[in-house]
């Protein structure tokens, strides 16, 4: 399967030099995932088609409204959403492909409100439910982004969606990532990874939950979690870090060799940086 975690970064700032106490800053939403795609065999082993699959993906959203009089339309909103998945690769990627196609340009009447994030999540739910049932493969996903209708609030919302093979829609879960130590998981080995993250937060408010998945990858604790670690940062837009390099530098970076990670002098954001 895979492992995906979502959380808000917290930083403690020492203001004693300025006569103040330690201050806590609640920052951006982050997502971390491994990069292995695998499937079980009848013998109990696993087949690994690739260890370099991106599971945190950006979606561009553009909205247009028709003119009140005459033909044509005017752009009224442009933003990004983050889509991360675990489980059945076929229904998840087909859901993503359809969302990318739909959201590249949605046009509405001049006198209607912009969609809410709830409207968007509802569409994702309908598409994912259909593909999960048709392919007989369950999957789950995070969807993160701003509400177009209330985008001036500059607030990102995070949802967890689950899709089974019955064709019956399940209620999306709005995640509250504001409390200290809060996080959510997708994928396999959630109990063990959840304990690692909870222990990390108990010891350090600034703990980075990505380190738990990184540890599972490096120590080969779970056969269905592997490859390397990649990150997504959501702050209005979406920044993708396809090959995160931690302090140890021990994780492979298949997209950092220039063959897949660049276009001439242009490179994918985050490949050569440390998140």
**In contact, 219 and 29? CB cutoff 8 Å:** no
What mean pLDDT is reported for the chain?
86
* Model confidence at 120: pLDDT above 80: yes
pLDDT of residue 72: 87
Of the candidate ranges 58-67, 178-187, 262-271, the one whose mean pLDDT is the lowest: 262-271
pLDDT of residue 273: 40
* Model confidence at 19: pLDDT above 50: yes
Q: How long is the chain? A: 275
Q: pLDDT-based confidence at 261, cuts 50/70/90?
A: low
Q: Which of 227, 155, 135, 236 is nearest to 187 (CA)?
A: 227
Contacts for 261 with CB less than 8 Å, ≥ 6 apart = 242, 243, 255, 267, 268, 271
* Model confidence at 212: pLDDT above 70: yes
pLDDT of residue 218: 85
In this structure, what token pair is assigned to residue 33? 């995932």
For 132, phi then psi, to 5°, come to -65, -40
Residue spans of beta strands (DSSP E) within the chain? 3-13, 23-33, 37-40, 46-50, 56-66, 73-87, 106-108, 139-146, 156-163, 173-174, 183-187, 230-235, 237-241, 262-263, 266-267
* Model confidence at 163: pLDDT above 90: yes
In this structure, what token pair is assigned to residue 116? 């809410």
Of the candidate ranges 11-15, 26-30, 117-121, the one whose mean pLDDT is the lowest: 11-15
pLDDT of residue 249: 39
* Model confidence at 256: pLDDT above 60: no
Of the candidate ranges 9-13, 136-140, 266-270, the one whose mean pLDDT is the lowest: 266-270
pLDDT of residue 160: 98
């Amino acid at each position: 399967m895979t492992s995906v975690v979502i959380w808000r970064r917290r930083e403690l700032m020492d203001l004693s030099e300025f006569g103040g106490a330690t201050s806590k800053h609640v920052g951006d939403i982050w997502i971390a995932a491994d990069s292995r795609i695998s499937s079980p065999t009848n013998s109990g082993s696993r087949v690994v088609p690739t260890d370099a699959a991106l599971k945190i993906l950006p979606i561009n959203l553009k909205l247009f409204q028709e003119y009140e009089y005459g033909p044509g339309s005017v752009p009224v909103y442009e933003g990004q959403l983050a889509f991360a998945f675990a489980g059945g690769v076929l229904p998840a990627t087909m859901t993503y492909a359809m969302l990318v196609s739909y959201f590249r340009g949605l046009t509405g009447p001049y006198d209607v409100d912009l969609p809410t994030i709830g409207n968007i999540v509802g569409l994702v739910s309908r598409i994912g439910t259909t593909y999960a049932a048709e392919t007989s493969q369950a999957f789950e996903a995070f969807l993160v982004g701003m509400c177009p209708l209330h985008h001036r609030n500059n607030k990102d919302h995070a949802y967890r969606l689950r899709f089974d093979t019955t064709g019956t829609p399940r209620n999306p879960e709005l995640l509250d990532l504001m409390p200290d130590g809060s996080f959510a998981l997708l994928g396999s080995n959630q109990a063990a990874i959840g304990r690692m993250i909870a222990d990390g937060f108990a010891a350090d408010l600034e703990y980075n939950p990505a380190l738990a998945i990184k540890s599972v990858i490096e120590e080969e604790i779970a056969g269905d979690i592997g490859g390397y670690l990649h990150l997504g940062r959501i702050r209005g837009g979406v920044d993708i870090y396809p090959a995160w390099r931690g302090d140890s530098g021990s994780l492979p970076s298949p997209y950092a060799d220039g063959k897949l990670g660049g276009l001439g002098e242009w490179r994918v954001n985050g490949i050569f940086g440390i998140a």
